[in-house]
Every structure is written in structure tokens, then in C-alpha cells.
Amino acid sequence: MTAPVDHTHDSALRSWVPGADAPGGEFPIQNLPFGVFRRRGTGGAPRVGVAIGDRVCDVAAAAERGLIAGDARAAAEACASDSLNALMGMGPEAARALRHALVELLREGGSGERHADRLLAPMADVELFVPSRVGGYTDFYASIYHATNVGSMFRPDNPLLPNYKYVPIGYHGRASSIVASGTEVRRPWGQTRNSPDAPPQFGPSRRLDYELEVGLYVGAGNALGEPVPVSSAESHLFGLGLVNDWSARDVQTWEYQPLGPFLAKNFATTVSPWVVTMDALAPFRAPAFARPTGDPAPLAYLAQPAEAAGVDLTLEVWLSTAAMRANGTAPMLVSRGSFTHMYWSVAQLVAHHTSNGCNLQPGDLLASGTVSGPDKESRGCLLERTWKGTEPLTLPGGETRAFLEDGDEVVLRGYCERAGRARIGFGECRGRIAPAAATFPG
């Protein structure tokens, strides 16, 4: 049960907003991703907006001016908030009604144009925040390529565990350290061990990594004790964003058994500001991952029609170093992958998560796990990309990277492109590494 393709996806739709129809743009009228913004320097409360072209449209302001009526009005009013949670909690019909109303407002000849000054702010003049108050943050492990690569490094004798093809493996992450795109990430201290014969030591991580992930934002929740069937799982998703699950690999190696990653991950997770709705993604659905011959079929509670289970979303990692920026060198594309390479679909992740009755709540974040594909160039973290540091990347200017150095900046990008459809983008998820504290407080 994916969202329908309708007139809001018509590639011929044009907007009165200047630049919204620019070729190659990320935020045409067919996209309208939601985020939380504040006009820089105003000190006012953040509000919910949608991105269009290089502007942000203040949704609640449109409601306040009487420009959004009918079913959409309550949804628009819920945008007078510093998070998307209220809107997300209203469910898919409300979100769809609002999308339709916003298209009417922003399309050529739409009623918004006369109010442009009050509705729009230049993207350059706004701060963007974490889009939802994340109550629960779950991180999955849904790329079999990633799981196999990492497994072969951490457990060479046993790379892909027997449960992988049955269980959409996931674990709980830390919501409090989710930060907005652009927030500096301080290199953490942690326990690491250089060799099995040496005692561990405590100091700044020397194997800092990013992870390219897709974030699923929960819309309507489910009550505790009431599983969400896979057939209706997508109706509990508001939309997708980008997630960088920063990881300290040396800490992870030492700490992760038997209960999983903890301090190796919970020092920071960066999310992109814009949530692309499931509705906006409707024209870009793709078949489910083609399980190789011999792989088991999903158990019944995870079985879904294959034809549109996937999302044809291209994902990129860009890296720049302090030296590159000082030299005016453009960031380097480190990898490009596809969300179609995930072994488990977004609906399967939701269905599995709730299969024991666990309750999801509006604004919760489910991350996909590192998006890696079959090729070296589609590996979504340095651990895989440099094969545990043994094959360092060579950067423009001759620097090399096994893991991230201080001053390195990672930018994740994502976009959907398909013939006959308006391209839609996810914007960016950006973070720069700040040096570790010089001394540890004691």
C-alpha cells in the first residue's frame, strides 16, 4: 500500500515561486518536503515550513491568512510548531490533504503569490532544525552488502549471521544526541584496544567514520501491543530524510559484544533538515530487492507484493578536508549508492519493529542502516570504502584518508530521478569533525 501517484506529481506543474522550476533543482513543486525553520536573527519560535526552490514557505502563515481551507486547514495549523510531530501524528490523509492544498497555493496562478512576502523566506536567511522531536530512534542494518562487508571484517569466519535473511536486524539508538545538519561533531574519547594481548586504553577515537543512511520518520503511531501489518506499514510513515550515523570504529570493535553498539554511536547522529513525504516519493517506487536464488522468502508477517516495495533513491557521500577547502578544491564524491540495494523494505522495517507490539510514536526515527551496494564505489561508510583502512582513499591534492581526520566535512545527498518525472532532492546532511577535547575532565 504505497501512496498514489496523482496530479501533484505531474511534471508539467509549475510554481510561481522564482527558481522553483530550475532544471536539476531539488525542491520543485512536486517535492514540497517539510522541515522546521526560523528566520535567522529573529529569535522567534521555529515553525514548520516546506522547501520550494530556494525558499521556505511558512505553512502555518498560509493557514493564518485563510489560504488553506477544508481538510488541510487543521494540518496547516499544526505547522505553527517547533517540530513536525503534531502534523506527523495526524496521519497520511491529513498530510496528503495538506500537500494538495500547498500545491494549489504554490502552483502557477495559485493564491499564494499575492502573499509571497509573508509566506516565503529565502533559504539563505533561515536556520534549519532537527525536523521532529524524536522520542525513539532505531537503527536497522538493512543492506546485506553492508552486513556482509562489516561481518567479514569483524567476524572473518562468520560474516553473515544465520538470522540475517530472516530478521530485519535493528537496535535502539540514542535520540538525545541527534543533531541538525551543520552541527559540528566533536571527536569522542573512548575505550579501545590495540591488540588482544594489550589492556585497553582511553583516548580520542582514531577510527572515526560516517554512515550513509536513510531515515524513516514515523507519522501516525500504533498503540502498545498492537502490531502494524506489513500491508499497512507505509501508512505509518510520514516520509524519509538523510541520516549520518557517525561511528567510532575502534570503540565499536571493543565494546559491541554482546549487547551491540553503544558509545561508538551515541555521541552524535546528524539528520538532514527536510523530510520528503511518502507522497512525494510515489512516482519513484521500485521493485523489492531481488533475493538471490536460494535465499528464503520472508516469513508471512514480512511478506508484501514486490512491485513497489522499494524506493529508487540515489544517495551520495561527499568529503572535503580542511586543506581542500583552504585550496578552494571542491568536495570529492566518495560514494554513490542506491536505496534499492536494501535487503529489507521500509514497510518490512516498520512491520518487524511493531511485530511484538512495540509502539511507534509520531516523530520517531527509524534509520535504514548503512546503504551499501555491490560495488566498491557504492559502499556507504569509510570502514567499507577503505576496507578497514587498508585501502585509503586518495583525495584531490594528494591527501589520503583511511578514517576521518579533524576538519573533515561529510555531506550526504539524495535524489530521485526518473524519465518523465520532475527530479526531487533531499537537500544535504552536513557535519564537520571538530578535534577531541585536549584533556578529559576529571
User: CA dihedral defined by 425, 5, 352, 171, rounded to 10 degrees?
Assistant: 10
Q: How is residue 172 written as a grid cell? A: 535502539
Q: How is residue 317 written as a grid cell? A: 557521500
Give 24 or 162: the residue with its C-beta nearer to a copy of itself: 162
Pairing of β 269-271 and β 178-180: parallel
Q: CB of 238: closest distance to a copy of itself in angstroms?
A: 17
Q: CB of 404: closest distance to a copy of itself in angstroms?
A: 15
Give 27 or 238: the residue with its C-beta nearer to a copy of itself: 238
Q: CB of 152: closest distance to a copy of itself in angstroms?
A: 12
Give 70 or 441: the residue with its C-beta nearer to a copy of itself: 441
Q: CB of 81: closest distance to a copy of itself in angstroms?
A: 18
Q: CB of 362: closest distance to a copy of itself in angstroms?
A: 11
How many residues does the structure list for the chain?
A: 442
Q: CB of 259: closest distance to a copy of itself in angstroms?
A: 4
Q: How is residue 61 written as a grid cell? A: 502563515
**Integer Cα distance of 383 and 408 in angstroms:** 16
**Integer Cα distance of 237 and 215 in angstroms:** 10
Residues 403 and 392: beta-carbon distance below 8 Å: no
Q: CB of 95: closest distance to a copy of itself in angstroms?
A: 21
Sign of the four-CA dihedral 11, 14, 15, 20: positive
**Integer Cα distance of 330 and 308 in angstroms:** 37
Q: CB of 261: closest distance to a copy of itself in angstroms?
A: 7
Q: CB of 216: closest distance to a copy of itself in angstroms?
A: 16
- Contacts of residue 214, Cβ cutoff 8 Å, sequence gap at least 6: 240, 241, 242, 243, 313, 315, 339, 367, 368, 371, 414
Concatenating the DSSP letter of every residue in 44-99 gives ---EEEEEETTEEEEHHHHHHTT---THHHHHHHTTSSSSSHHHHHT-HHHHHHHH
**Integer Cα distance of 278 and 57 in angstroms:** 19
φ, ψ for residue 27 (rounded to 5)?
-125, 60
Give 267 or 284: the residue with its C-beta nearer to a copy of itself: 267
- Contacts of residue 438, Cβ cutoff 8 Å, sequence gap at least 6: none
- Contacts of residue 269, Cβ cutoff 8 Å, sequence gap at least 6: 137, 173, 174, 177, 178, 179, 243, 244, 245, 246, 367
Residue type, 356: N
Give 163 or 390: the residue with its C-beta nearer to a copy of itself: 163
Reply yes or no on whether 352 is catalytic: no
Residue type, 341: H
Give 176 or 390: the residue with its C-beta nearer to a copy of itself: 176
Helix (H, G, I), strand (E, B) or coil at 18: coil
Give 213 or 255: the residue with its C-beta nearer to a copy of itself: 255
Residues 395 and 331: beta-carbon distance below 8 Å: no
Catalytic annotation, pick one of 9, 146, 236, 353: 146
Closest to 425 in 3D by CA, of 188, 203, 242: 242
Give 25 or 261: the residue with its C-beta nearer to a copy of itself: 261
Give 75 or 243: the residue with its C-beta nearer to a copy of itself: 243
**Integer Cα distance of 236 and 245 in angstroms:** 23
Residues annotated as catalytic (active site), given as ranges: 146
